[in-house]
Amino acid sequence: MDINSLKTQIDADIEKIDSPAALEEVRVKYLGRKGLIAQLTSSIPGLPQEQRKTFGQEVNELKARILSLLDEKQKSIAGKKELSPSYSDISLPGLAQDLGHLHPITQITNEICAIFSRMGFIIIEGPEVETEYNNFTGLNIPLEHPSRDVFDTFYLNTPKSNTQKLLLRSHTSPVQIRVMKSRKPPLAVVVPGRVYRPDAVDASHSFMFHQIEGFMVDEGIKFSHLKGVLEVFAKSVFGEDIKMRFRPHFFPFTEPSAEVDISCAICRGKGCSSCGRKGWLEILGAGMIHPNVFKHVGYDPKKYTGFAFGMGVDRIAMLKFGINDIRLFYENDLRFLKQF
């Protein structure tokens, strides 16, 4: 075999290499287990004695030459990779960071709190683990009162040393008790937060959901103040042409009490499947704070009056965004959440 013509062939092959894959191909062709060098080496024993030594040396030199040429080539294509325009195309779009955003419930909560804050209300939060007293008794819901039934749940194992039973609050109203016990009127407060109920989960119920409580206490507060404040709220959230109505209702902690409806934001009051053909949707409960609540917190009910209201944030978010299943808020499905 003519070593010189092999050299020419090898040089040409290595010269042509322009990628790591091509480099590997040439390496295998010459240095692989069945490559040229291996074949030449295994042919040595079959040569006449006097040729073996020189031929062996020539094969070794050839191998060293291939190794060094491949090494050089590897360095040159690695350098090329950094400089090559195909590897740094500045016209390609950048690698954008995926930005998160606030959950739709948090967005609506913030929006509603901002509306009340513009009217002078301050925002206060309370604990989700509440005493039985604040959740019920202080709010004029005594032990045997039937209206406890639907809420009376999620009690926690309370140490014997605790005089009060603890539970996950069933509404945000207990924060009224906390705030009124620690501050003096005048008060205008909104309280956003999570609440817990023993409701079976379906399209419109969840065992955990969100409320915003609001209340105002001072001398001379009237039902008309409540109406005015709620009207500003409803128009800011649902638009100027939304209508409101107050239906008489019962809540132990307010007297008189009302449930408040808005004209259906979807059919504008005409009646559709979202509002059960009624044209109206209930969005909150409200009323004048019961004198017994004032007695529990040590306010003089002859001196002070006040109003209170409580709304379901999930419900309002569903109406505003046209969402028909409350469970969507709690499944962490990005395909849903990214739409807001």
Query: According to the binding rule CB under 6 A, does residue 290 interact with ligand DAH?
Result: no
Q: How many CA atoms lie within 13 A of 19 on its CB side?
A: 5
Given a contact cutoff of 8 angstroms between Cβ atoms, the answer to whether 238 and 206 are in contact is no
Measured CA to CA, the distance from residue 110 to residue 104 in angstroms comes to: 10
Q: Pick the closest to residue 329 from 169, 116, 108, 167 (CA basis).
A: 108
CA 43 to chain centre: 71
Residue 117 φ/ψ, nearest 5 degrees:
-65, -35
Q: How far is the CB of 99 from ligand DAH (least distance, A)?
A: 35
Q: How far is the CB of 272 from ligand DAH (least distance, A)?
A: 25
Stretch that binds ligand DAH, among 84-92, 199-207, 283-291, 318-326 (CB under 6 A): 283-291
Stretch that binds ligand DAH, among 76-84, 281-289, 297-305, 326-334 (CB under 6 A): 281-289
Query: According to the binding rule CB under 6 A, does residue 30 interact with ligand DAH?
Result: no
Q: How far is the CB of 102 from ligand DAH (least distance, A)?
A: 24
Stretch that binds ligand DAH, among 108-116, 262-270, 279-287, 313-321 (CB under 6 A): 279-287
By CB under 6 A, name the one of 131, 135, 173, 305 that touches ligand DAH: 173
From the number of C-beta atoms within 10 Å of its C-beta (0-12, 13-18, 19+), residue 337 rates as: middle
Subset of 175-214 contacting ligand DAH (CB under 6 A): 213
By CB under 6 A, name the one of 251, 280, 304, 329 that touches ligand DAH: 251
Given a contact cutoff of 8 angstroms between Cβ atoms, the answer to whether 186 and 170 are in contact is no
What's the angle, vertex CA 334, arms to CA 333 and CA 338, rounded to 5?
130
Query: According to the binding rule CB under 6 A, does residue 254 interact with ligand DAH?
Result: yes
Per CB under 6 A, residues contacting ligand DAH are: 171, 173, 213, 251, 254, 285-287, 308-310
